[in-house]
Homo-oligomer: A and B are copies of this chain.
Amino acid sequence: MKIAEGDFQAWMVSMQARMEPVLARVLPAAHLSPARLHAAMRYAALEGGKRVRPLLAFAAGELSQAPAERLEPVAAAVELVHAYSLVHDDLPCMDDDVLRRGKPTVHVEYDEATALLVGDSLQTLAFQVLSESSVAAKAQTQLEMIRLLALAAGSRGMAGGQQIDLESTGRALTLPELELMHIHKTGALIRASILLGYLCGDVFSEGERERLDRFAKSIGLAFQVVDDVLDAEASTATLGKTAGKDSKQGKATYVAALGLAGAKARASELHSEARAALVPLGERARRLGELADFIVLRKF
C-alpha cells in the first residue's frame, strides 16, 4: 500500500497550511497584555505538528456536508486542547522533555510558570472558540460538541490517561491495561475530533455516527501503537522530539508489551478494523480512509 495518493498528499498539505491562519486568528495577538503569555501560547500552538486532529475533523465533516466556516474553529479547538496537553506533558514534573516539534519545549524557551499558564490558557481558549463561533446548525448541537470535547479532555479522557500513564511508569502493563491507558490518553481526543467534525454538518444519522465512532476508536489506538513503534525505531531528528525516551523512562509501551513485530502487527490489525468500519460510508469517507493509512504508515 502506498502511504498516500498524490491527491491526498496535496489535500493534507493544503489543510495543514490552512490551519495556520485559523490558529493565528483565534490565539490572542502577541502584543496583547500579558504579552509574554500570549507569545508563549503562540509559540506552543503555531508552526508545528502534523495537525492530525484538525485533519480528522475536516475529513469527518465531509460525511455530513459540514461547511468550512464551521469546521475551522472546531479544528482549532481540538488542536488547542492537543497543544495544551503537550505543553503540560513536557513539564519537569511530568515527562521533563526539552524538545518538541523540533523546538525547545515551552518551559525551556520561556519558564516553567509561564508554561503552566500557557497550557491552562490554551485549554480555556478551546472552549472559548467552541462557544463563541458558529460551529453547528443548532445551539443544542453546539452544546453537545462542547460536552464531548470536555469529556474527551478531562479526567475520564485525556488527562485521566495521563494519570494512568504516570502510575504505570516502571511496571509492566498487561495489553488490556495498556489499551485502556491509550484509549484515554490519545484515543479520546482523536475520537472527539472526528465526532465534532461530523457534528459541524447538517446531515447526520445515528448509524453513521456509531460507525464513525468505531473507526475513531480503532484509529485512535493505532495512532498510539505507531507512536510507540516510531519512538523505538526512529531518530530524534526525524521525530522532532526526543526518541527512545519511553523505554529509558520505563514507560509501558506497545513495543514493550508485544515486541516490535507484535506492535507492528497490532497497528496493522487496528488499521484494518478502522478501514472496515468506513466501507459502508462509501466515497464520502475517502479522506478518512486515507488519513487512517497516513496515521499507520507515517514515519514521523
Pair A41/B131 contact, Cβ less than 8 Å: no
B124, B138, B142, B156: the one contacting A154 at CB < 8 Å is: B124
B41, B128, B143: the one contacting A151 at CB < 8 Å is: B128
Q: What residues of B have a CB within 8 angstroms of the CB of A156 in the complex? A: 28, 32
Pair B131/A112 contact, Cβ less than 8 Å: no
Q: Answer whether residue A94 sits at the interface, using C-beta atoms and an 8 A cutoff.
A: yes
Which secondary structure dominates where chain A touches chain B? helix
Measured between alpha carbons, how far is A94 from B128 in the docked complex, in Å? 25
Output the least CB separation between A156 and chain B (Å): 6
Beyond A34-B167, A37-B163, A117-B163, 18 additional pairs, beta carbon < 8 A: A32-B156, A33-B180, A34-B164, A37-B159, A37-B160, A91-B116, A113-B166, A114-B166, A117-B162, A119-B120, A120-B123, A124-B155, A128-B147, A128-B151, A131-B143, A139-B140, A139-B142, A143-B143
Q: Answer whether residue A198 sits at the interface, using C-beta atoms and an 8 A cutoff.
A: no
Measured between alpha carbons, how far is A143 from B233 in the docked complex, in Å? 46
Question: How many copies of this protein are present in the complex?
Answer: 2
Pair B139/A34 contact, Cβ less than 8 Å: no
Subset of 8 A-B contacts with CB under 8 Å: A33-B180, A37-B160, A94-B113, A114-B166, A116-B116, A121-B154, A124-B155, A130-B146
